[in-house]
């Protein structure tokens, strides 16, 4: 097999949608550098800021990808992020708990929450949309029960240190007007997000669980007849997602350092949008977390455009995102139609 053929094969299948996303990102990034060079779009720090701002979303979108590949959906994640922030703020500020204890409790709560949802969905066979809609209301309600006022995290020094610590990268430095070399930096939140992304990628590609997730998304009935324990795998996907939404909430809280009822409202939709833009099919069976990562970055780039421009209304963000979503959904169905014709 020659190289071209090999490359063609690589691009075919689900990889094609991923390639489109990556190429799209590259074009948008280059365009940004050309248009907003004076605002410093080309600086490495601009890119790092995209990661910092969206660390929580990267984690939540990774979990969402797993759930969507099984053919399900989880719209409770936004409320879970909000609830996690509130729980952290309440436990650390009002109850004076240690940061590690508070984070541990939040993560454990995420697992329990995911387990309940997963059990309802896979063992009682209730529509995931309905179950997680209930979960969404429940988590948001619980957030308000803890406190209707904003709680800012001001006193827990460990937590604030972690939130604000700059990790400087050894490359991509720029020299400012006074001749000082400035290295780009990230926060620990980005490290957590990227590690999570890598772990989920590995789990999906190389573990029995990960491969089962794909099989179930392709055909639940077939997967069952081939001897997979469908219910267990599906439930595990929701447990994992519950955990990741709590972890995403923790990382989100590192950015906001506060808890507030309205926090992360609509976050679940951003996660779903990023996942879809990243080439994951809502019908299940096809998708990658790498795609979702680029989906998040594309959303981040649009935000950066608007910030760089300075005069555009921030609502353009939503408009462009909606157009992109349409584009990708059309692309997916064209792709599916082509595939059917070939088959």
By CB under 8 A, name the binding residues for another protein: 9, 13-14, 202, 205-208, 211-212, 214-215, 217-219, 221-229, 285-286, 339, 342-343
Residue with smaller CB distance to another protein, 318 or 339: 339
Provide the token pair at 274: 């990023």
CB of 1 to another protein, least distance (A): 9
Environment class of 225 (CB within 10 Å of its CB; exposed 0-12, middle 13-18, buried 19+): exposed
Provide the token pair at 34: 């050309």
Question: What are the beta bridge partners of residue 181?
Answer: 175
Closest to 263 (Cα-Cα) out of 277, 282, 248, 275: 248
Residue with smaller CB distance to another protein, 24 or 240: 240
Residue with smaller CB distance to another protein, 15 or 43: 15
Residue with smaller CB distance to another protein, 155 or 222: 222
- Taking the C-alpha atoms of residue 198 and residue 188, their distance in angstroms, rounded to an integer, is 15
CB of 69 to another protein, least distance (A): 9
| DSSP SS3 for 242 | helix
Residue with smaller CB distance to another protein, 166 or 222: 222
CB of 198 to another protein, least distance (A): 14
Residue with smaller CB distance to another protein, 95 or 342: 342
- Taking the C-alpha atoms of residue 340 and residue 343, their distance in angstroms, rounded to an integer, is 5
CB of 70 to another protein, least distance (A): 12
Environment class of 217 (CB within 10 Å of its CB; exposed 0-12, middle 13-18, buried 19+): buried
Provide the token pair at 189: 């939140």
CB of 226 to another protein, least distance (A): 5
CB of 131 to another protein, least distance (A): 24
CB of 262 to another protein, least distance (A): 39
Residue with smaller CB distance to another protein, 170 or 227: 227
| DSSP SS3 for 342 | helix
Cα 27 versus chain centre, distance: 22
Torsion of CA 119, 123, 125, 131, to 10 degrees: -10
């Amino acid at each position: 097999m020659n190289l071209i053929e090999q490359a063609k094969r690589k691009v075919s299948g689900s990889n094609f949608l991923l390639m489109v996303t990556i190429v799209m990102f590259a074009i948008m990034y280059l365009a940004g550098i050309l248009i907003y060079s004076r605002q410093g779009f080309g600086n490495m720090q601009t890119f790092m800021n995209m990661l910092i701002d969206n660390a929580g979303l990267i984690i939540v979108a990774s979990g969402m990808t797993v759930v969507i590949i099984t053919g399900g959906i989880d719209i409770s994640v936004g409320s879970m992020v909000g609830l996690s922030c509130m729980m952290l703020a309440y436990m650390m500020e009002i109850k004076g708990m240690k940061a590690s204890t508070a984070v541990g409790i939040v993560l454990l709560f995420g697992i329990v929450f995911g387990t309940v949802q997963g059990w309802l969905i896979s063992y009682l066979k209730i529509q995931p949309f309905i179950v997680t809609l209930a979960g969404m209301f429940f988590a948001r309600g619980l957030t308000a029960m803890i406190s209707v006022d904003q709680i800012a995290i001001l006193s827990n020094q460990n937590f604030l240190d972690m939130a604000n610590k700059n990790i400087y990268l050894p490359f991509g430095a720029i020299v400012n007007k006074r001749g000082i070399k400035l290295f780009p930096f990230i926060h620990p939140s980005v490290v957590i997000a990227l590690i999570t992304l890598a772990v989920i990628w590995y789990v999906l590609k190389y573990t029995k669980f990960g491969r089962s997730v794909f099989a179930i998304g392709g055909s639940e009935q077939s997967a069952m007849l081939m001897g997979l324990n469908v219910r267990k795998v599906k439930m595990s996907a929701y447990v994992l997602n519950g955990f990741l939404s709590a972890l995403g909430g923790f990382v989100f809280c590192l950015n906001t350092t506060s808890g507030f009822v309205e926090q992360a409202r609509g976050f679940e939709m951003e996660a779903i949008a990023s996942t879809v833009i990243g080439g994951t099919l809502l019908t299940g069976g096809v998708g990658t977390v790498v795609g979702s990562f680029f989906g998040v970055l594309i959303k981040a780039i649009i935000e950066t455009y608007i910030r760089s421009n300075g005069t555009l209304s921030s609502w353009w963000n939503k408009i462009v995102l909606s157009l992109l979503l349409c584009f990708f959904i059309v692309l997916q169905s064209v792709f599916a139609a082509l595939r059917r014709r070939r088959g």
